[in-house]
Structures are given as structure tokens and as C-alpha cells.
């Protein structure tokens, strides 16, 4: 019996601190991942989630909002 898996990703999207995290977050958004609200908040931000075809759940949260 295979159990469904869960993973949590914390991503810093502040480009002043580095471009990799912001680039990863942008791709996840463009590809449609992490669009569904996970009904959880962390550090004052809504945690987003994605469930794949195998019912594995991935959660994503921005650690530091981008400065505008």
C-alpha cells in the first residue's frame, strides 16, 4: 500500500535577496501550480497548495514578499 505524500516549500521571492526563489515562484504560478488556497496561513501569508494525479499534496508559501 502506497501512502499519499505531502511536501511543503517555503520560497523567498524578494529579488533583492536573490533571483532564484522569485524565478521558481513565477514558474509555479505560470504553470498553474500552487493556485488553490491551502486553508493555512504562515507568517501572515496564505499557503497555496497543489494536488497531483496521485493525490500527493504540495504546499507553497512565500517567506518574504517582493519589494515593490
pLDDT per residue as tens, the chain (68 positions): 678 999 988 888 888 888 898 899 889 889 989 889 988 888 888 899 999 999 999 999 877 765 55
Q: How many angstroms separate the CA atoms of 16 and 67, rounded?
A: 8
Q: How many angstroms separate the CA atoms of 9 and 38, rounded?
A: 13
Q: Whole-prediction pTM value?
A: 0.74
What is the gyration radius of the CA atoms in the chain, in angstroms? 13
Query: pLDDT tens digits, residue range 40-54?
Result: 888 888 899 999 999
Amino acid at each position: 500500500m502506497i501512502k499519499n505524500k505531502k511536501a511543503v516549500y517555503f520560497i523567498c521571492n524578494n529579488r533583492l535577496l536573490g533571483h532564484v526563489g522569485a524565478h521558481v515562484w513565477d514558474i509555479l504560478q505560470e504553470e498553474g501550480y500552487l493556485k488553490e488556497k491551502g486553508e493555512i496561513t504562515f507568517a501572515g501569508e496564505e499557503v497555496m497548495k497543489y494536488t497531483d494525479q496521485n493525490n500527493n499534496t504540495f504546499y507553497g508559501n512565500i517567506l518574504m514578499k517582493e519589494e515593490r
